[in-house]
């Protein structure tokens, strides 16, 4: 008779990993009174710090900050000995924590979880381990680390080598003595850069095989920084809280100094100060724009390269060590102790694998294209399958048999980096889509663990058994993560952040770069909105408030925050002159605008006197099509200067002559002055196209906001007058009607620069109520037959969004070809903020493409 199979053990939660995150997760779950089992393939606690025992291994965040903060008593009982503690000390700390809270009792070491399946009927995870255990649990939590799955070796002949082989990520516990040996280190990331100086002290000969040089700055290790210790001593909780609400999880004062506008002296001073501090967040924060602006980044990168050249004696070696193929910070920079100095030692040699690639590893060394290196030992410091590797390794199967690797075949998809749809009750600590590796891990881990623990507590209190993100919420978060990455220089690098180090891995920017505080706020907001975007179920039914937590472009929200911080009065409380002065002052703070071929100012006749215009000519050989442009400003504000950056951008990108016209403004000249001026400007420009460097007959009109309003009106008037011929109308977030009852006036009426009260203010100055239904004020009410092709741009957070959409609908209904451009996540004004709002660039590129398409014959002219 068969022995009956043992019933699987039942737990409330299973945790994978016993490093920083697993230990704290276990602690919190126990506090909730849940039964928990944790597993770790290591022989003890420590996670990363258990495995990475290579010589020189240290943290790269000051240990004052790289530490748990959940228990003040714990903090009193442990004092770090150095600014950057060594691996043995950090491991001791984690052992101390495990002992202090008796955590080992619930951890099974030297055990890996091999499979995890969601049982939809039983609402449980079925877990199996490599020791043959079967378990059932309600919550399955991966605290498996972001850099814990070593990258597979992808070098030919690695199994042939008969000498000693070491991996920095799995270093022997008894240590290694390289005395008298010829050693190779392959890889110059943080692990290589930390270990190379110490291996060089023992080895007879050390050859470093470098594929990509890395930026590294001296750690200046020593006693813990006095300023941080003093702040901690003064008010520990205030300090920890400042870390939790900081951009990177370490309290630092962010700068607003831009590299592109800083003087050389200021740039140098800031660099020297950051260099002296020897801290990643200092050197990454010299300028506010170094992560997004290539020119600013280059200033910092050049200074680091200058340092490398000043340390390394041999100019050729120094040159090889200077990173040139990526922007500073787009690959994780390193902190080192004597790394570059090591190359001045006579027995240390650097091999540039780009010039001299490895052809194969052989029994007794490494063969390259033009040289053989005899060796006794090879150290692989070749990195990790970061962020997704450990999660994919335990290929969890969620609802309907969908596996995580199948779901993530094109890259990970998560809600807040915490959960993924289709996998109920499956949590990730610092998963992809969370700040994790871009932040102080200790702070991010605590925040994630606390969020998960609080969520389980809330579920228990409200009688829910399962939780899972909705596809909508997850897609929204994925988009937000991509939007945040896209405005930075990160996607340009072949980094492990992008998955580029692992052959075949989808190229996706894995972490969330919006910042620790912004992220924490998003997580808190989700909870405050009744777990927005999560579906929770229980015996009493289900609850789901579906939605997207962050829809705005990250740089747009940053600018809105900055503006709110300035405390400017609402414009509608000012007089027109005061509002104009405020706008002029704001324009002075703008960064330099794009260069065009030529800019000339002139005057053209208008119905009420001469109208100033500014002409932008592309650098390419003319003649060019001509675009008559009308600036924004609610018919009251704006001038040739206010829209100068946008006009330059349009000129450069569309390769058209832009004629920006300063029409008459209200209240000095009320309706229909602006509309009449617009039509007159169109007529004059069409008649003088040749003299202006344009191609006669190739004229379009364009305008932003109120400028879009009069551009649309000018098209209708031109049609009625039988000319001039207009090739197209570009209407950027236009006013098309005086009816302010459309939903966008309510949804977006407050908080996004252009407000509903401000629109009232504009209309009141511009037109009498009786005139507001005139088609020259409200073009939507005009005859829309026979109008030129249109491009209508609408922004999500704009009171005028529905004005634009209504006009696009009406034009289409009248048979006009309409190209709709949605400025996703933008406000009424942000799309036009050239050089300030980076996320507007793709929208403006689409706008310029639409302008070019108005003139198809231009392409056939060979331009």
Tokens of 642: 């206010």
According to DSSP, residue 338 is labeled S
Burial 139-169 (b: 16+ CB within 10 A, else e): bbbbbbbbbbbbbeeebeebeebebeebbbb
Q: What is the DSSP string of 141-168?
A: EE---SS-SBPPP-STTGGG--SEEEEG
- At 785 the three-state DSSP class reads coil
Burial 257-285 (b: 16+ CB within 10 A, else e): bebeebeeeebeebbeebbebbbbbbbbb
662/647 Cα distance (integer angstroms): 13
Q: How far is the CB of 288 from ligand N01 (least distance, A)?
A: 23
Question: Judged by CB, which is closer to ligand N01: 153, or 475?
Answer: 153
Sorted by sequence, the CB contacts under 8 Å of residue 216 that are 6+ apart come out as 193, 333, 334, 335, 336, 339, 340
Q: How far is the CB of 187 from ligand N01 (least distance, A)?
A: 3
189/336 Cα distance (integer angstroms): 11
H or E segment and range at residue 276:
helix 264-277
Question: Judged by CB, which is closer to ligand N01: 388, or 729?
Answer: 388
378/163 Cα distance (integer angstroms): 8
Q: How far is the CB of 644 from ligand N01 (least distance, A)?
A: 42
Q: Burial, 99: exposed, middle or buried (Cβ in 10 Å; 0-12, 13-18, 19+)?
A: exposed
Question: Judged by CB, which is closer to ligand N01: 154, or 272?
Answer: 154
> How many residues of this chain interact with ligand N01, rule: CB under 6 A?
25
Q: How far is the CB of 91 from ligand N01 (least distance, A)?
A: 13
Question: Judged by CB, which is closer to ligand N01: 155, or 836?
Answer: 155
Q: Is 104:42 a contact under the CB 8 Å cutoff?
A: no
Q: How far is the CB of 417 from ligand N01 (least distance, A)?
A: 17
Question: Judged by CB, which is closer to ligand N01: 380, or 635?
Answer: 380
103/97 Cα distance (integer angstroms): 8
Question: Judged by CB, which is closer to ligand N01: 383, or 398?
Answer: 383
Q: Is 838 in the site for ligand N01 (CB under 6 A)?
A: no
Question: Judged by CB, which is closer to ligand N01: 65, or 798?
Answer: 65
Q: How far is the CB of 83 from ligand N01 (least distance, A)?
A: 12
Question: Judged by CB, which is closer to ligand N01: 30, or 53?
Answer: 53
According to DSSP, residue 614 is labeled E
Of 540, 511, 404, which Cα lies nearest the Cα of 147? 511
- Partnered with residue 36 across adjacent β-strands are 13
431/474 Cα distance (integer angstroms): 13
Q: Is 818:812 a contact under the CB 8 Å cutoff?
A: yes
Task: Work out which of 24, 384, 408, 765 binds ligand N01, going by CB under 6 A.
Answer: 384
Q: How far is the CB of 556 from ligand N01 (least distance, A)?
A: 30
Q: Is 501 in the site for ligand N01 (CB under 6 A)?
A: yes
Q: How far is the CB of 393 from ligand N01 (least distance, A)?
A: 17
Q: How far is the CB of 547 from ligand N01 (least distance, A)?
A: 34
Site string for ligand N01, 262-301 (x = CB under 6 A): ----------------------------------------
Of 289, 354, 277, which Cα lies nearest the Cα of 323? 354
Q: Largest Cα–Cα distance of the chain, in whole Å?
A: 107
Site string for ligand N01, 307-346 (x = CB under 6 A): -------------------------x--------------
Q: Is 417 in the site for ligand N01 (CB under 6 A)?
A: no
Question: Judged by CB, which is closer to ligand N01: 194, or 733?
Answer: 194
Q: How far is the CB of 188 from ligand N01 (least distance, A)?
A: 4
Beta strands in 219-364 (DSSP E): 334-336, 348-352, 358-361
Q: Is 212 in the site for ligand N01 (CB under 6 A)?
A: yes
Q: How far is the CB of 489 from ligand N01 (least distance, A)?
A: 16
φ, ψ (nearest 5 deg) of residue 303? -70, -35
Q: How far is the CB of 431 from ligand N01 (least distance, A)?
A: 16
Q: Is 353 in the site for ligand N01 (CB under 6 A)?
A: yes
- How would you classify the pairing of strands 124-129 and 348-352? unpaired
63/235 Cα distance (integer angstroms): 17
How far is the CA of 702 from the CAs of 481, 543, 651, 808, in angstroms? Answer: 33, 48, 12, 15
By beta carbon distance, the residue nearest ligand N01 is 189
Q: How far is the CB of 155 from ligand N01 (least distance, A)?
A: 5
Question: Judged by CB, which is closer to ligand N01: 381, or 823?
Answer: 381
Residues 181-210 that bind ligand N01 (CB under 6 A): 186-192, 194
- How would you classify the pairing of strands 534-538 and 466-469? antiparallel
Q: What is the DSSP string of 631-661?
A: --STTTS--TTTTHHHHHHHHHHHT-EEEEE
Of 388, 503, 474, which Cα lies nearest the Cα of 482? 474
Residues 663-702 that bind ligand N01 (CB under 6 A): none
Q: Is 381 in the site for ligand N01 (CB under 6 A)?
A: yes
Q: How far is the CB of 459 from ligand N01 (least distance, A)?
A: 33
Task: Work out which of 63, 279, 382, 425 binds ligand N01, going by CB under 6 A.
Answer: 382
Q: Is 840 in the site for ligand N01 (CB under 6 A)?
A: no
Question: Judged by CB, which is closer to ligand N01: 442, or 552?
Answer: 442
According to DSSP, residue 696 is labeled E
Q: How far is the CB of 700 from ligand N01 (least distance, A)?
A: 48
Q: Is 447 in the site for ligand N01 (CB under 6 A)?
A: no
Question: Judged by CB, which is closer to ligand N01: 285, or 638?
Answer: 285
Question: Judged by CB, which is closer to ligand N01: 464, or 512?
Answer: 512
Question: Judged by CB, which is closer to ligand N01: 323, or 469?
Answer: 323
Which region, judged by CB under 6 A, interacts with ligand N01, from 296-304, 375-383, 659-667, 789-797? 375-383
Residues 565-584 that bind ligand N01 (CB under 6 A): none
Task: Work out which of 496, 629, 762, 763 binds ligand N01, going by CB under 6 A.
Answer: 496
Which region, judged by CB under 6 A, interacts with ligand N01, from 56-64, 305-313, 555-563, 627-635? 56-64
Tokens of 528: 């405050």
How far is the CA of 570 from the CAs of 373, 525, 642, 751, 752, in angstroms? Answer: 71, 27, 19, 10, 12
φ, ψ (nearest 5 deg) of residue 210? -110, 125
Q: How far is the CB of 270 from ligand N01 (least distance, A)?
A: 24
Question: Judged by CB, which is closer to ligand N01: 21, or 755?
Answer: 21
Question: Judged by CB, which is closer to ligand N01: 60, or 655?
Answer: 60
Q: Is 64 in the site for ligand N01 (CB under 6 A)?
A: no
Residue 424 has a CB neighbour count (10 Å cut-off) of: 24
Question: Judged by CB, which is closer to ligand N01: 332, or 801?
Answer: 332
Q: How far is the CB of 493 from ligand N01 (least distance, A)?
A: 9
Question: Judged by CB, which is closer to ligand N01: 499, or 788?
Answer: 499
Q: How far is the CB of 339 from ligand N01 (least distance, A)?
A: 12
Q: Is 60 in the site for ligand N01 (CB under 6 A)?
A: yes
Site string for ligand N01, 132-161 (x = CB under 6 A): ---------------x------xx------
Helix 841-853 vs helix 644-654: angle between axes, to the nearest 10 degrees?
Answer: 60
Q: What is the DSSP string of 796-845?
A: EE-TTHHHHHHHHHHHHHTT--EEEEEEEEEETTGGG-TTT-GGGHHHHH
Q: Is 748 in the site for ligand N01 (CB under 6 A)?
A: no
Which parts of this chain interact with ligand N01 (CB under 6 A)?
58-60, 147, 154-155, 186-192, 194, 211-212, 332, 353, 381-384, 437, 496, 501
């Amino acid at each position: 008779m068969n022995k009956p199979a043992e019933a699987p053990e039942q737990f409330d939660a299973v945790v994978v990993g016993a490093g920083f995150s697993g230990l704290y997760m276990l602690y919190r779950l126990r506090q909730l009174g849940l039964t928990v089992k944790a597993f770790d393939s290591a022989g003890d606690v420590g996670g990363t710090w258990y495995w990475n025992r290579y010589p020189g291994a240290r943290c790269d965040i000051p240990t004052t900050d790289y530490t748990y903060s959940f228990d003040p008593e714990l903090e009193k009982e442990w004092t770090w000995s150095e600014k950057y503690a060594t691996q043995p000390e950090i491991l001791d700390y984690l052992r101390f924590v495990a002992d202090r809270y008796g955590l080992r009792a619930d951890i099974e070491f030297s055990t890996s979880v091999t499979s995890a399946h969601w049982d939809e009927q039983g609402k449980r995870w079925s877990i199996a381990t490599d020791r043959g255990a079967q378990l059932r649990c309600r919550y399955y939590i991966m605290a498996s680390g972001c850099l814990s799955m070593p990258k597979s070796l992808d070098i030919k002949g690695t199994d042939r080598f008969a000498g000693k082989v070491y991996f920095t990520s799995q270093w022997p516990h008894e240590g290694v003595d390289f005395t008298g040996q010829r050693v190779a280190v392959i890889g110059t990331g943080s692990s290589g850069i930390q270990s190379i100086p110490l291996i060089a002290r023992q080895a007879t000969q050390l050859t470093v095989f470098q594929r990509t040089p890395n930026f590294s700055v001296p750690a200046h290790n020593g006693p813990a920084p006095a300023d941080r210790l003093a702040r901690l001593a003064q008010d520990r909780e205030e300090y920890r809280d400042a870390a939790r609400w900081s951009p990177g999880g370490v309290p630092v004062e962010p700068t607003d100094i831009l590299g592109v506008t800083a003087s050389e002296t200021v740039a140098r001073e800031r660099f020297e100060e950051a260099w002296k501090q020897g801290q990643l967040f200092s050197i990454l924060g010299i300028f506010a724009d170094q992560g997004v602006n290539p020119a600013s980044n280059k200033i910092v990168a050049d200074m680091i390269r200058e340092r490398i050249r000043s340390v390394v004696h041999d100019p050729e070696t120094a040159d090889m060590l200077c990173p040139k193929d990526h922007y500073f910070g787009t690959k994780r920079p390193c902190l080192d102790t004597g790394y570059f100095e090591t190359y001045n030692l006579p027995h240390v040699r650097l091999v540039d694998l780009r010039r001299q690639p490895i052809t194969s590893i052989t029994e007794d060394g490494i063969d390259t294209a033009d040289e053989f290196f005899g060796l006794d030992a090879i150290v692989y410091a070749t990195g990790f399958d970061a962020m997704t590797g450990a999660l994919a390794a335990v290929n969890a199967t969620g609802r309907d048999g969908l596996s995580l690797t199948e779901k993530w075949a094109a890259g990970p998809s998560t809600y807040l980096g915490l959960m993924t749809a289709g996998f109920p009750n499956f949590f990730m600590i610092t998963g992809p889509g969370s700040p994790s590796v871009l932040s102080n891990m200790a702070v991010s881990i605590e925040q994630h663990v606390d969020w998960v623990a609080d969520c389980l507590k809330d579920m228990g209190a409200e009688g829910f058994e399962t939780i899972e993100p909705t596809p909508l919420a997850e897609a929204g978060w994925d988009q937000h993560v991509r939007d945040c990455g896209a405005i930075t220089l990160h996607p340009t690098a072949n980094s492990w952040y992008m998955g580029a180090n692992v052959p075949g891995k989808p190229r996706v920017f894995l972490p969330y770069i919006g910042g620790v505080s912004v992220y924490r706020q998003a997580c808190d907001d989700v909870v405050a909105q009744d777990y927005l975007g999560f579906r929770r179920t229980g015996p009493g039914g289900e609850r789901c408030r579906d939605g997207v937590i962050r829809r705005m472009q990250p740089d747009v929200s940053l600018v809105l925050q900055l503006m709110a911080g300035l405390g400017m009065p609402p414009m509608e409380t000012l007089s027109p002159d005061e509002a104009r002065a405020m706008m002029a002052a704001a324009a002075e703070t703008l960064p330099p605008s794009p260069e065009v071929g030529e800019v000339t100012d002139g005057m053209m006749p208008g119905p009420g006197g001469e109208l100033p215009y500014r002409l932008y000519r592309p650098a390419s050989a003319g003649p060019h099509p001509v675009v008559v442009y009308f600036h924004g400003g609610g018919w009251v504000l704006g001038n040739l200067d206010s829209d100068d950056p946008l006009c330059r951008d349009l000129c450069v990108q569309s390769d058209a002559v832009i004629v920006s016209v300063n029409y008459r403004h209200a209240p000095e000249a009320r309706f229909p002055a602006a509309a009449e001026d617009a039509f007159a400007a169109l007529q004059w420009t069409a008649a003088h196209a040749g003299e202006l460097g344009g191609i006669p007959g190739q004229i379009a009109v364009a305008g932003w906001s109120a400028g879009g309003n009069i551009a649309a009106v000018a098209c209708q008037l031109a049609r009625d007058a039988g000319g001039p011929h207009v090739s197209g109308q570009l209407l950027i977030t236009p006013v098309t009607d005086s009816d302010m009852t459309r939903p966008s006036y309510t949804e977006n009426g407050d908080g996004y620069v252009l407000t509903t009260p401000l629109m009232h203010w504009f209309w009141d100055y511009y037109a009498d109520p009786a005139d507001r239904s005139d088609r020259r004020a409200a073009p939507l009410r005009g005859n829309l037959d026979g109008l030129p092709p249109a491009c209508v741009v609408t922004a999500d957070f704009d009171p005028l969004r529905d004005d634009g959409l209504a006009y696009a609908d009406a034009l289409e209904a009248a048979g006009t070809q309409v190209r709709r451009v949605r400025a996703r996540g933008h406000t009424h004004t942000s799309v036009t903020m050239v050089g300030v709002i980076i996320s507007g660039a793709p929208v403006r590129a689409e706008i310029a493409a639409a302008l070019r398409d108005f003139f198809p014959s231009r392409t056939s002219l060979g331009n």
